[in-house]
């Protein structure tokens, strides 16, 4: 064999112990680099093989044989070391596994405070014999306004900044369309409450474009303002505590007559208007906070749904759930309800 042939064969044979040595001290994460170094397309083996072509023809069979042997040996060495390292890694993971450590408890979710209060209010009213109903959030102008004695161009429509989906189709601005839907679907007597989302074009520190209301409606023969007062007073004391004082102030809604707004004594300052000598911020020193709107169903609404106003009377009310929740739990910032901070939400678990 020529000298060049012998050199090439020696070079090939030397690769095997060299790789074996490097493999022995190689960590798992460096294994791939080592494979590229020896077996890669531009690796040491490939470099030597490139010299095969320039050998004298009679040297080629022997040198070729040596090349194949070297390639096989390198590949086997590599595979063996790879398997060894994989086994080591697996053993290491096992030895780090400590079965005496306490398990990781999955975090449990909790109901949103607005949901909790909504359910609590519904429970109070179902206890009084009311039935829970619901209806669409996308509502026609007729249900949201017109049947509630708010004809087109009525100035009272300005009370609520309406979000329109299309001509005569709105996102309901209150749950009062459920009064209309209920009366159209049933004959009196009816006693229902309707919890749900409502929408207004309004967004600042104390208003969000979506919030929750609960509507109440009771219609029968001889329902009076006294029934309204008694029902709402009982309800508010169940939610806010037996000591809560309740007052009715005359107000206006197109769909009730007479209408009232209801205040409860301020829970923050106990109705005093001051707290530790400072003006109470929750009730702005008045000792009262507004909690809901209500009134006796207007005869015009009865006419729109086909109830005889000479025979039937009824009362209706609507309240904002976020507002009740803030007062009940002393939450100062409306944004808390929408930020989904689990440190806040988890307190209601």
Which residues here bind ligand PHE, judged by CB under 6 A? 174, 176, 215, 253, 256, 293-295, 316-318
Q: Which is nearer to ligand PHE, 271 or 293 (CB)?
A: 293
As a whole number of angstroms, the distance between CA 14 and CA 68 comes to 14
Residue nearest ligand PHE (C-beta atom): 318
**Residue 107 CB, nearest distance to ligand PHE (Å)?**
37
**Residue 147 CB, nearest distance to ligand PHE (Å)?**
13
Q: Which is nearer to ligand PHE, 52 or 124 (CB)?
A: 124
Q: Which is nearer to ligand PHE, 256 or 325 (CB)?
A: 256
**Residue 182 CB, nearest distance to ligand PHE (Å)?**
12
Q: Which candidate, 321, 320, 261, places its Cα nearest to that of 295? A: 261
Beta-strand relationship, 169-171 and 164-166: antiparallel
Q: Who's near 253: CB < 8 A, 6+ residues apart?
A: 156, 259, 293, 295
**Residue 277 CB, nearest distance to ligand PHE (Å)?**
35
As a whole number of angstroms, the distance between CA 137 and CA 196 comes to 8
**What is the three-class DSSP state of 85?**
helix
**Residue 199 CB, nearest distance to ligand PHE (Å)?**
11
**Residue 316 CB, nearest distance to ligand PHE (Å)?**
4
As a whole number of angstroms, the distance between CA 225 and CA 240 comes to 22
Q: Which is nearer to ligand PHE, 4 or 159 (CB)?
A: 159
Whole-angstrom CA distances from 167 to 47, 136, 139, 140, 197 are 78, 17, 11, 9, 21
Q: Which is nearer to ligand PHE, 256 or 265 (CB)?
A: 256
As a whole number of angstroms, the distance between CA 289 and CA 280 comes to 11
**Residue 295 CB, nearest distance to ligand PHE (Å)?**
5
As a whole number of angstroms, the distance between CA 12 and CA 64 comes to 10
Q: Which is nearer to ligand PHE, 291 or 294 (CB)?
A: 294
Do residues 292 and 256 make contact, with C-beta atoms less than 8 angstroms apart?
no
Q: Which is nearer to ligand PHE, 271 or 314 (CB)?
A: 314
CB atoms within 10 A of CB 344: 14
């Amino acid at each position: 064999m020529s000298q060049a042939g012998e050199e090439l064969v020696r070079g090939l044979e030397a690769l095997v112990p060299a790789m074996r040595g490097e493999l022995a001290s190689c960590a798992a994460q460096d294994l791939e680099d080592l494979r590229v170094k020896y077996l890669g397309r531009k690796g040491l083996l490939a470099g030597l093989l490139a010299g095969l072509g320039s050998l004298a023809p009679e040297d080629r069979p022997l040198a070729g044989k040596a090349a194949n042997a070297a390639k096989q040996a390198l590949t086997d060495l590599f595979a063996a070391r790879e398997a060894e390292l994989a086994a080591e890694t697996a053993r290491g993971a096992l030895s780090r596994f400590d079965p005496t450590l306490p398990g990781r408890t999955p975090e449990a979710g909790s109901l949103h405070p607005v949901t909790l209060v909504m359910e609590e209010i519904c429970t109070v009213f179902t206890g009084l014999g009311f039935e829970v109903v619901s209806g669409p959030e996308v509502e026609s102008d007729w249900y949201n306004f017109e049947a509630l004695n708010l004809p087109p161009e009525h100035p009272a429509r300005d009370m609520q900044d309406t979000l329109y989906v299309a001509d005569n189709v709105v996102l309901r601005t209150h749950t009062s369309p459920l009064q209309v839907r209920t009366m159209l679907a049933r004959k009196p007597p009816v006693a229902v409450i309707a919890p749900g989302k409502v929408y207004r074009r309004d967004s600042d520190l104390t208003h969000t474009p979506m919030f929750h209301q609960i509507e109440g409606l009771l219609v029968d023969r001889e329902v009076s303002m006294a029934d309204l007062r008694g029902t709402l007073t009982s309800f508010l004391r169940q939610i806010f505590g037996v000591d809560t004082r309740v007052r009715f102030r005359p107000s206006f809604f197109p769909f009730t007559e007479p209408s009232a707004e209801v205040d409860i004594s301020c829970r923050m300052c106990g109705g005093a208007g001051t707290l530790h000598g400072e003006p109470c911020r929750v009730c702005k020193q008045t000792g009262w906070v507004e909690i809901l709107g209500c009134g006796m169903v207007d005869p015009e609404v009865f006419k729109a749904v086909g109830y005889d106003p000479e025979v039937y009377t009824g009362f209706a009310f609507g309240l904002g759930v976020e507002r009740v929740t803030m007062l009940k739990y002393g939450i100062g910032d409306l944004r808390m309800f929408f930020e989904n901070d689990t440190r806040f939400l988890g307190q209601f678990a």
